Structure 1
């Protein structure tokens, strides 16, 4: 029986944002191949129950509370890694000498405390954390947060170099990250994002609005939304729907002041899919160059036109399925062009996506690498 420990930076249900979407659908795809998953989750509060969707795809689920000590900001270890440390986790790992898959570098701080080398260690490299926190610092307007993010970015330079060589393989999300890891440690494997989509939706030729969706607590998404709002102020003939469960009062006020822009909650995956299926075009803009964003897959599988800038993906196959704008003026022109077009790309998307980006194929590749002996 093939068993695998997976250490997640959070509880992976519901799969409602980028990294956790990858974690949940990876576990599901591995479970479907018969792998017995021992899931370990670092969380703020231990939940009262484990969701049936997690129970069905795991052998065991363990919870560990993240440390609350603010003095850990002064540690040489990045804060996100320092707060994910547990002696109980170490004991639980020793019960089964199965391989360990760490979800993100922030979960890998405990490697130095493992008692022996009986575990083979693997990493899901969700971000180049140095670049990620540098990007957050540049996008953040709050001075205190800006400084904290910049310090975290600098801490990760040494942390990444030290840790990346300790893994049998590092599973990278994108070409960019694959090349970066290869320069550090020569153990990189390119395994694209797990996204949970099974088939490309067959949709009629026209949708009803343009859609912007995302977590509006992140500096990058807030900046992208502000740019998009300003853009649609100059395009009053088109409707923009902003979908998010996490909008500040400032964002709500800004949206309410523009007649052709509305805000709606997402709440469930079904609601998100309904919003995607009725959108004529999707606006995906980022100012962080961190590989392919998982929401790109949701839009390509479930909606019509997808308008992106250069930071949404570095995969030329995926870029070819989108309308690309190098700057805000080009994005504006893509909105106007797509609004007049009929959507007829479903068959082409189906052929490309189901051949190159299915979750099952990616899980089979991981199994082949981890259980090669």
Structure 2
């Protein structure tokens, strides 16, 4: 018997050129390999149609996201209101196939009574109201801060209202599972690890030649982390420090120029980024938010040497034993000084293999997802 599945994606999940695309795209690949007939529905706002997706999906449809003032609502969060589509609703009502909603962003149909008896699975990418509250703390822009705080307030009410309407919720982290259980009293939630392009540890033994921070540098939180590292951690350490990622600001570049040990690599290709991750002696990745899962950290753990993080990056996470954890600038300095000339060993690779490879196994996780979708019994 053929298994058909609608997947509603908050964005076009290809090309896979930043962390947010990993789970979206590699889930398609794994489900396709498991024999699932995928009917993909994408909200498009700049990436355009991608023929690559047709290799993994029985059908692919695109819907314009209502960006700017067209997407604002007094009642719904912007990330949800801008993705409401009557065309999408009509297409989903043409059959009775189960529906996987990728993110709170795509969950507006859960408020529609016509889907009340439909099998709907909500993939939770973050506890969004907490994420937006933390974005507000990371920006210096008054306009952005007000927007993030307003969105956070709407999201808290919205997430509480729709939390019990999905058949089941699949969170990317155990921490997000516990948050939904304690804050919203949700019972129909379980952890499903993210899908990744790598299933085996490829970290190299030995010593690398620099420290690396990487991420989307146009995101306020990432810029804040990079500048903090330049000014508070690498200000006195005689170690070469590289900040690499998408669209760095002039403010960040100036901070690196003032430093005697830092440089910025703007908009590296995917191959260049992976080459830097593998060659670095230390991947240093503090975070200023503690929701969801840090895909750039998983990339570094699968492909890099020593990883240094703060508590927020690995809070309540089973991957923390594979990381060196600092609590402030001074402890980060001490850890970097200890690790900079310390070879990365086979014992550390073995530890990562034991911690990461069983959890982030795309084939196994696709089977678990299929069980959730096509069987009533759900184990958490």
TM-score (norm: length of structure 1): 0.94
> Residue 368 in 1 paired to residue 371 in 2?
yes
After superposition, residues 265-344 of structure 1 pair within 5 angstroms as 265-344=266-345
Match of 2:60 in 1: 61
Q: Deviations over 1:39-72 (max 9, x none)?
A: 111121472x4242x2221111111111135165
- The separation in 1 between residues aligned to 2:166 and 2:77, in whole angstroms, is 19
1:202 deviates by 4.5
Structure 2 CA distance for partners of 1:338 and 1:233, relative to 1, 3 Å: closer
Aligned length: 371
Listed as ranges, the gaps of 5+ residues in structure 2 are: none
Alignment of 1:80-91 (within 5 A): 80-91=79-90
Could you tell me how far apart the structure 2 residues matched to 1:105 and 1:299 are? 27
Match of 1:140 in 2: 139
Deviation at 1:100, TM superposition (A): 0.6
Deviations 1:329-360 (A, max 9, x none): 11111111111211002122123221222222
- The offset of 1:232, in angstroms, is 4.6
Residue matched to 1:348: 351
Using the alignment, how far apart are the partners of 1:160 and 1:227 within structure 2? 32
Deviation at 1:362, TM superposition (A): 1.6
Aligned counterparts of 1:233 and 1:371: Cα–Cα separation in 2 = 52
Following superposition, the deviation at residue 303 of structure 1 comes to: 0.4
- 1:217, distance to aligned residue in structure 2 (A): 1.5
Look up the SS of the partner of 1:312 in the other structure.
Answer: helix
Q: What secondary structure, in the 3-state scheme, does the structure 1 residue paired with 2:50 have?
A: coil
Alpha-carbon distance between aligned partners in 1 of 2:73 and 2:360, rounded to the nearest angstrom: 41
| Deviation for aligned residue 1:117 | 4.2
Match of 1:359 in 2: 362
**Contact 1:239 / 1:260 at 8 angstroms: preserved in 2?**
yes
1:195-274 matches, within 5 Å, as 195-274=196-275
Structure 2 CA distance for aligned equivalents of residues 321 and 225 of structure 1: 22
Which range moves more in the overlay, 263-272 or 219-228? 263-272
- Kept in 1, the 8 Å contact 2:96–2:118? The answer is yes
Shift of 1:236: 4.4
Instruction: Give the CA deviation at 1:19.
Output: 2.7
* Distance in 1 (alpha carbons) for counterparts of 2:47 and 2:276: 32
Aligned to 1:100: 99
Name the stretch that deviates more: 260-269 or 2-11.
Answer: 260-269
Quote the Cα distance in structure 2 between the aligned partners of 1:225 and 1:195: 25
8 Å CA contact retained: 1:292, 1:314: no
Instruction: Give the TM-score normalised by structure 2.
Output: 0.93
After superposition, the CA RMSD in angstroms is 1.8
User: Any unmatched runs of 5+ in structure 1?
Assistant: none
